[in-house]
Chain A
Amino acid sequence: MRTAGTHVDLATLNESDHCCITFDDFDEFSTRAISFLTSGIELGLQGAFVSGAPAEVIESQLRQQEVASRFLDNGSMRVWSISDTYSDGFPEPHTQVEAYAAATRESIARGFRGLRIAADATSLIDTPERASIFARYEHLVDRFMTSHPFSAMCGYRITEGLAQEAVTQVAAMHPVAIGTKTPLRLFVIAHHTYGLVGEIDFWSASLLESTLDRADPAGETGQIVLDLSGIEFMDHHGVKALAEYAERRGAHMMLTKTPEHVGKLVDILDVTRLTVVDS
């Protein structure tokens, strides 16, 4: 069972969990990253610290912490530089998931149970276009995690240059999001089963729309099961966004654990591509 929520202790996350955090400076990020990686290493996973700086800079910063030094020395933690990994500067979503799949296999070949990464991905969402593409990656990797021993903490540094909207777009793809201001999140629970949580009204309906398009849960089959147990509120704009996405994709959505007021809206709006299967 994957963890979902906004108030979660990083150290309790499991081998397939996916978490988003925001932070103000490197020290804050590295403290949380080391805590997250430490708990993973204790689970028998290999850890990887990923950041935009060159690898040797990251390593020298990490070595200021004793625990990190020990992990680096004994091989239970690796360091990757985004700029080293992506020479052309930006990863294609599927390619990046494939890279982490290969890295996970490598960790397993070395005797670990799987791979856990803590990544400062700020540099990958510095323009709206890149944020949009990276949000697609965040969803694809979320899918990958449900069936592989791969877990991740994705950090985004709140700077003046970074649009709140960009952070919101990527945060919306995580089952766990700490300190982000995203009003909603869409994530994978299991094959073809998705969780949608949060509050959806006129202001956040456009985020739901773009999140659905980026994640594209309809996939090949056109059958989607959407678990709404984490919906605190949804108005008719939210129901409309779900119905219109299903329409665009020729898909059908089964809504489960549907709050009573959402069931009423589905009925009132008379939308044919949504079915409330249990409430």
Chain B
Amino acid sequence: MSSFTHDAFVYGSPGKFVGSLAPFIREGLELGEHVIVVTKPENQGALEDALGDRSEFQTADSTEWYSTPVQTIDRYRRVLQDALGSGRPRLRVVGEVEFGTTEIEHAEWRRYESVLNVAFADQPAWVVCPYDSQKLPGHVVADAARTHPLAISDNQHSESHEFLDPADMVGPLPLAIEGKFLGEFEVGDSLSAVREFVTRTSNQAGLSRPRAEDMCLIVNEIATNGLRHGLPPVRVQAWLGDRDLVYEVSDSGQGPDNPFAGFIPPKVSQGEGMGLWLSRLLADRLEIVSGTGGTSVRASTSTLAV
């Protein structure tokens, strides 16, 4: 079994969590697989009590691990790469997603769960995502059946009949522009002038220097895509809200053909797709909306000091 397996596991008590997942972890270790357990500290503790020596598998705190969807995909990508590089036959993951508190966060992580099927398709990895039915909102738990081809309950695998094609789940989520309009800039031949615009508006928004540099990179990469693959005019606009700074890069083209563009790590040697991938990786949020009127890419960052 070397292809990607992605299961949802709905549990209602710490006992159920340990009862199902301790054997799953133990089996992986016995098979010489690399095992990583990403969950809340209390579940981590319960597993430790059941399994004893935790040094045999990797652990991570889910509140840090699930920072943004694309950063999380990148983390798993690296863990898988290292595991295979050191001769492990497969990666086994217990990954308890942090769904956040807002509707947008719930939707973002639902999309992440769906995209994961495509991002790791054909990779030798088995990911089990525990869903805490006592703590998560009912609709979040219900969505698990739409984003996981398989569900586990009482150690039995069963196919999910509600599973939806990830291509239908990957569409853009709302990313509102509100607050103060900081200006706009039409991109000519010089990307240098675009970067000056971003540096100036990022400073106006009070971003730290490293964060201003991130935004400069993001807008530069997306404007580059607009100039190369889109249709003129390519325009950059900036808005400063109460908590966020949002840049929008728009052009008259149709946007990327692949709905998963920027969600899936590209190979450096391919050359294409790197700009969008790293932009999604660096932005707090990034959404692409394409329609008859053209394409707009919005990238946001928090303006609150971290």
Contacts and interface: CB of A to CB of B under 8 A. Distances in A.
Contact of B221 (A199, A236, A243): A236
A57 B289 CA distance: 67
B220 A268 contact: no
21 contacts: A199-B192, A202-B227, A203-B189, A203-B191, A233-B192, A233-B216, A236-B221, A236-B275, A236-B278, A237-B224, A243-B268, A260-B210, A260-B213, A264-B217, A264-B282, A268-B74, A268-B278, A268-B281, A269-B274, A270-B268, A271-B268
Interface string B190-230: 01100100000000000000100110110011001001100
Contact of B217 (A183, A199, A261): A261
Interface string B242-279: 00000000000000000000000000100100110110
Contacts of A199: 192, 195
A265 interface: yes
A261 B268 contact: no
Nearest to B225: A202
A25 interface: no
Interface in A114-173: none
A34 to B, nearest CB: 34
A201 interface: yes
A253 to B, nearest CB: 15
Given A261-B214, A261-B217, 9 more contacts: A183-B192, A202-B227, A203-B189, A235-B221, A236-B221, A240-B268, A261-B210, A261-B216, A270-B268
A265 B217 contact: yes
Main secondary structure of the interface of B (DSSP, over half): helix
Interface string A221-264: 00000000000010111001001000000000000000111001
Given A199-B192, A240-B271, A261 B213 contact: yes
Nearest to A235: B220
A202 B228 contact: yes
Interface of A: 183, 199, 201-203, 233, 235-237, 240, 243, 259-261, 264-265, 268-271
Contacts of B221: 235-236
Interface string B226-242: 01100000000000000
Interface in B94-121: none
Nearest to B194: A201
A201 B192 CA distance: 9
B213 A265 contact: no
A240 to B, nearest CB: 7
A16 B266 CA distance: 45
Nearest to A203: B191
A103 B278 CA distance: 52
A151 B216 CA distance: 38
Task: Please indicate which of the listed interface residues B192, B214, B227, B271 has the most CB atoms of chain A within 10 Å of its own CB.
Answer: B192
Task: Please indicate which of the listed interface residues A259, A264, A265, A271 has the most CB atoms of chain B within 10 Å of its own CB.
Answer: A264
Nearest to B77: A270
Nearest to B220: A235
Given A268-B278, A269-B274, A270-B268, A233 B210 contact: no
Contact of B195 (A233, A237, A269, A271): A233
Given A236-B221, A240-B268, A243-B268, A201 B191 contact: yes
A202 B224 contact: yes
Contacts of A236: 221, 274-275, 278
A122 B169 CA distance: 60
A233 B223 CA distance: 15
Q: Report the 9 A-B pairs with minimum CB-CB distance, sorted nearest first.
A: A261-B213, A202-B224, A201-B191, A236-B274, A268-B278, A260-B210, A269-B268, A235-B220, A261-B217
B243 to A, nearest CB: 23
A197 B281 CA distance: 26
A271 B269 CA distance: 10
Given A260-B210, A261-B213, A201 B220 contact: yes
A200 B192 CA distance: 9
A268 B191 CA distance: 22
B63 to A, nearest CB: 22
A66 B300 CA distance: 64
B209 to A, nearest CB: 8
Contacts of B275: 235-236
Task: Please indicate which of the listed interface residues B227, B228, B278 has the most CB atoms of chain A within 10 Å of its own CB.
Answer: B278
Contacts of B227: 202
A215 to B, nearest CB: 23
A107 to B, nearest CB: 42
A179 B107 CA distance: 53
A240 B171 CA distance: 30
A203 B190 CA distance: 9
